[in-house]
Structure 1
Amino acid sequence: MSEHPAKRRRLSEGHDPPPAEVGAASGSGRGPASLARPISPPPRKRLARQERVMIPSPFRLTTIRDLPAASNIGAVSLQDLLGDPLILECWDFNYLHDINFLMNHFDEDVRSSVKVHVMHGFWKREDPNRAALEQDASAFKNVELHTAYMPEMFGTHHSKMLILFRNDDTAQVVIHTANMISKDWTNMTNAVWSTPMLPLFKTEENQEENHDFTTGSGHKFKSDLLSYLRAYNTKRSVCRPLADSLAKFDFSAVRGTIIASVPGRHAVETDPKETRWGWAALKQAMRAIPVQPGKAEVVVQVSSIATLGATDSWIQRTLFDSLSSAAKSSSRPSFKVAFPDASEIRRSLDGYASGGSIHTKIQSAQQAKQLQYLRPIFCHWANDSEKGVELAKGVAVRDAGRKRAAPHIKTYIRYGEKSIDWALLTSANLSKQAWGEAQSGSKEIRVASWEIGVLVWPELLAGNAKMIGTFKTDSPSAGELEGDFPLVGLRIPYNLPLQTYGKDEAPWVATMAYTEPDWTGMTWEGW
């Protein structure tokens, strides 16, 4: 399910700056051990005695305006991504766009000359969002709008990606979770993954040197990215020049697997060299990832949950089964879904205003049944609910520094008994439109929306590596997991351990009215 376009806030009054305690830490101390800046892994060399390779998190959180500096260590801003005066060309793929906001983040010396392409999904000419984009873009001679092909009625162009070309003959791909609007880059939790700077091939012959289609390889990443971009050309040439340009760059240093969705009907099983979409892509990738033996838990953390059905058939047999696939036979992990309730929205930095970007529904009979099977696995974004299941006594809370920055980020992480097996950062929420449905009686998958994400795991970044969660920092601590193997950090956006919903708790629903004032004194009338 996608975010709704920005709407007028239905709030009762204005508000003052956040109270001092909003950004305060909630706990400290060590917790379970199992818990980009562009990241290019170090050479795989023999470790010298007492030497250990430490690799920072491949995912970086975005900066939060109203949080203290201690919570923004290692975080990245939009200015960090777009402020380089060497940028010649930018392709911005997203659901919501504010052209003026986007342009203001380029270096002022190149703002009027950088060639900016904006990819959106508002295909109806009468759509007010399209009209607003066209009006804003008309003020810039260097901005060109492109409309994505949208064959599915309930689909959206939900991917969030920047592709940058610089005048030093390098390119970069940035996959992230934020809409291109101010709200998402100020007090909402989001995250970013970036490729290293990609060099231009020196000769055309070099482009054909590496045909390694192994899952996680740079060549496979490039192949899947180009397949994704070429899917925009179904009806007309939209991204052909972009794909042709990117094909000339060397992706060999990239470590990550694209998990994307493209609208339409697609074969579930294809040639391994061909790109799969939606849950079929997820299942294929999971089969290549080694996981630890023993108990495991997958945390699905999203900002939107669509109507999934009156029974748990789709979420269990389609999505969870795909997430449970593994390179070797292993027991099925347990699952949790992290999603905020109304109390967490009220206490967030922007109060109820944050709730306009976070969606699910529980009003209809079918939605009520959905809540019934989801409630046992629902967990809070912040683990400090008075009505939630009490945390085990003596367990230290690991503070991610984001519990008051409402989540727009989407992460899927598998926690093993001692370390993390894999992590996915994506635009895809918990919905059939994003991940697709298997077509009855066929070997096809039907996908409605455009989505893109990147999947990483420890051994992809360094041989024999282990991955552990990091909190308020991107760097792992050697003392958390003893050994001489390389240690990879993964920046966790939520506090651990997660707190399960209480029996009477329900998720935040933007279409419902909430009369209890938030911390600023505002109420929410619903949509």
Structure 2
Amino acid sequence: MDNASLERKVTDESNYDNAKKTCKKKCPYAVKCCRTNPHHFKEFDHPHLDALLEKGEPLELPPDYPRDKQVVEKQLEVLRDLRLLKLKPMTERLEENRPYNLFFTTIPDAPQTYNQKNSITFINLLCPSLGELKCSLQINFIVNIEWLMKQYAKAGQEKKPLTILYGYEDPDMKTYTQLVLPNVTEHHVQLKGPIGIHHSKVGIYVYSDNSLRVVVSTANLYYDDWNLFCNGLWISPLCPALPEHSPHKAGESPTNFKSTLLSYLQQYNLPILKTGLTMLNVLILVIVFLITSVPGRHRETVAKPVHCHLHSVGELLSDHCVLPAKTTPTSKSPLSWSVLAQSSSIGSFGKNPTEWLRSTLLRSLASHKDCRLPANSDATLSIIYPTRDNVLGSYYGPEGGGCLPYSKSVDEKQKWLKDYLYQWKADDTNRSRAMPHTKTYCRISPCTTKLAWFLITSSNISKSAWGMGINKVGTTNVPSYEVGVLFLPKYFGETYFQIKDAADNTKLFPFIYDIPLTPYKNTDEPWCN
């Protein structure tokens, strides 16, 4: 298709395109347009870009095209995001995804993901339908400030007050914000320990009526995590403001979400968060549990909340997880329910499974009401982590492994781990060739249709994220900041979460990878950097 044809081709297949033709003028520069500012695309129509967007990936331009391919790719990204804002308000998406509100990031190289009801981009979090944004707080590991502010600009929110806490040091962050972004306050969270990192990924969005939403995510705030890799996020319902001077404990949820979040934010002990703490004067309409970790030594059952994944998950499952009891010789026992762990990185566990993986991590994950904190549980543990072939066959080849920082030297010391490993395969969600940056944990029924619980978190399978070994008095050392949310069926009025074969009156729980699992072949090796 030549340039003239591209310029003339205007799609009439979507309501979005039909609507915008009536209120926009065509860009006077046509195919020669080099603008990438979202405000320009809100004002002017670009039929040639509409045509390219309809063709999908890969992007192919005629040899004599007047604009560089990189410029066109940026223009298409802006246009794609603006379409997402216009086509379906985010409030409708939230309604469609009730009660779980669990979403996964879209993958541009897998266009099918744009049509999935629980696929979104970052720009959706700023959709005007959610409310008039007053201010926001972003807590994360890696933050690309230029990319982040472009997302706010696409939604017209770039001037609103924004506070950022981040873990990965960016020497230019402070200079850039001071010179260019007077509305942005930032703080680099530095840790004293050698292995800990500030790895939490949380967004808090406050609206003009002082209501708010909380987002807990697995994604860093930069282009790759929201476009190249699979990430997941939970979005809270709208939490309305309480009357001024309401009691401190007012508005609490049945899962103590509010007090856990408030306590977590207080652990930073930062003056810039004082305003953020006052904004939590809301009614928390949340039925998931907030799971947090902060650096330090933590003892189980001493104080609530406990900012340690090992302790929090283990105690909650011990209190609330119900597995079928073996009542007849032919009925299944609780041990027939397998623990599944999926992450984007794997830590150093020791010379054998009992040094930490089974004695410590599985002590937490295998807990249930009839088996509290089992030592070296016999429960089956399966770890989903991409093979070398998974990565090489991904959309980006070896670069697709950029989100999978498992060390080759560590892998050489724990070859026994291969007995626990399963391939990354996500055909059902069209994401097999997009490598996973998600971190999810669950317990699945023998028939592979039900879950006893589900956790999505920033915590990889590592001592740094979950906690070191637990001593005789129940104390462990936690090196890192981490945050996740735990779904327990009883709080959703269910016995178990159904992930397939649901009855008409049961909503399926969103699941990202394929079940049953695909084992490693004898020749397979885990991807290592």
The bucket for the TM-score relative to the shorter chain is 0.7 to 0.9
**Percent identity between the two aligned chains:** 27
Corresponding residue to 1:156 among 183, 189, 197: 197
Conserved? CA contact 2:298–2:306, under 8 Å: no
Counterpart residue number, 1:60: 103
Conserved? CA contact 2:502–2:508, under 8 Å: no
Task: Report the AA paired with residue 443 of structure 2.
Answer: R
Q: Distance in 2 between matches of 1:118 and 1:261?
A: 19
Corresponding residue to 2:362 among 320, 326, 329: 320
Deviation for aligned residue 1:482? 4.2
Correspondence 1:224-235 to 2 at 5 A:
224-233=260-269
Q: Distance in 1 between matches of 2:98 and 2:141?
A: 32
Instruction: Please report the TM-score for the alignment, with normalisation by the length of structure 2.
Output: 0.74
Structure 1 gap segments, 5+ residues each: 1-15, 21-36, 43-52, 123-128, 384-397, 471-479, 511-527
Deviation for aligned residue 1:201? 0.2
Counterpart residue number, 1:180: 221
Deviations 1:189-241 (A, max 9, x none): 111101111100024346545667xxxx25x11111111111101xx534233
Structure 2 residue 403 is the aligned partner of structure 1 residue 357: yes
Q: Residues 332 and 83 (structure 1 numbering): CA distance in 2 closer, same or farther, change over 3 Å?
A: same
Structure 2 residue 226 is the aligned partner of structure 1 residue 193: no
Q: Residues 290 and 280 (structure 1 numbering): CA distance in 2 closer, same or farther, change over 3 Å?
A: closer
Q: Distance in 2 between matches of 1:115 and 1:55?
A: 30
Structure 2 residue 116 is the aligned partner of structure 1 residue 82: no
Aligned to 2:341, the other structure's residue is in SS state strand
Correspondence 1:405-444 to 2 at 5 A:
405-417=434-446, 418-438=449-469, 440=471, 442-444=473-475
Q: Distance in 1 between matches of 2:242 and 2:445?
A: 40
Aligned to 1:193, the other structure's residue is in SS state strand
Correspondence 1:48-447 to 2 at 5 A:
57-69=100-112, 72-74=115-117, 75-84=119-128, 86-107=132-153, 110-122=156-168, 129-138=169-178, 139-205=180-246, 208-209=249-250, 217-218=254-255, 220-233=256-269, 236-246=270-280, 248-251=281-284, 253-271=285-303, 273-293=304-324, 294=333, 295-312=336-353, 313-329=355-371, 332-363=378-409, 367-370=411-414, 372-382=415-425, 399-417=428-446, 418-438=449-469, 440=471, 442-447=473-478
Higher relative contact order (CA 8 A, sep 6+): 1
Task: Report the AA paired with residue 186 of structure 2.
Answer: L
Counterpart residue number, 2:26: none
Deviations 1:109-148 (A, max 9, x none): 74342111110125xxxxxx43132233232111111122
Q: Distance in 2 between matches of 1:39 and 1:230?
A: 34
Conserved? CA contact 1:201–1:207, under 8 Å: no
Deviation for aligned residue 1:497? 1.7
Deviation for aligned residue 1:88? 1.6
Q: Distance in 1 between matches of 2:356 and 2:481?
A: 20
Q: Residues 18 and 321 (structure 1 numbering): CA distance in 2 closer, same or farther, change over 3 Å?
A: farther
Deviation for aligned residue 1:72? 4.2
Q: Distance in 2 between matches of 1:57 and 1:453?
A: 14
Aligned to 1:491, the other structure's residue is in SS state coil
Note the aligned Cα RMSD (angstroms): 2.9
Aligned to 1:424, the other structure's residue is in SS state strand
Aligned to 1:156, the other structure's residue is in SS state coil
Deviation for aligned residue 1:41? 12
Q: Distance in 1 between matches of 2:266 and 2:342?
A: 30
Name the count of aligned residue pairs.
Answer: 424
Conserved? CA contact 1:207–1:250, under 8 Å: no
Instruction: Please report the TM-score for the alignment, with normalisation by the length of structure 1.
Output: 0.74
Deviation for aligned residue 1:186? 0.6
Aligned to 1:113, the other structure's residue is in SS state coil
Q: Distance in 1 between matches of 2:397 and 2:292?
A: 32
Conserved? CA contact 1:151–1:263, under 8 Å: no
Q: Distance in 2 between matches of 1:245 and 1:155?
A: 29
Q: Distance in 2 between matches of 1:322 and 1:266?
A: 14
Which one has the largest radius of gyration? 2
Q: Distance in 2 between matches of 1:39 and 1:317?
A: 44
Task: Report the AA paired with residue 499 of structure 2.
Answer: G
Deviation for aligned residue 1:468? 1.7
Q: Distance in 2 between matches of 1:120 and 1:259?
A: 19
Task: Report the AA paired with residue 177 of structure 2.
Answer: A
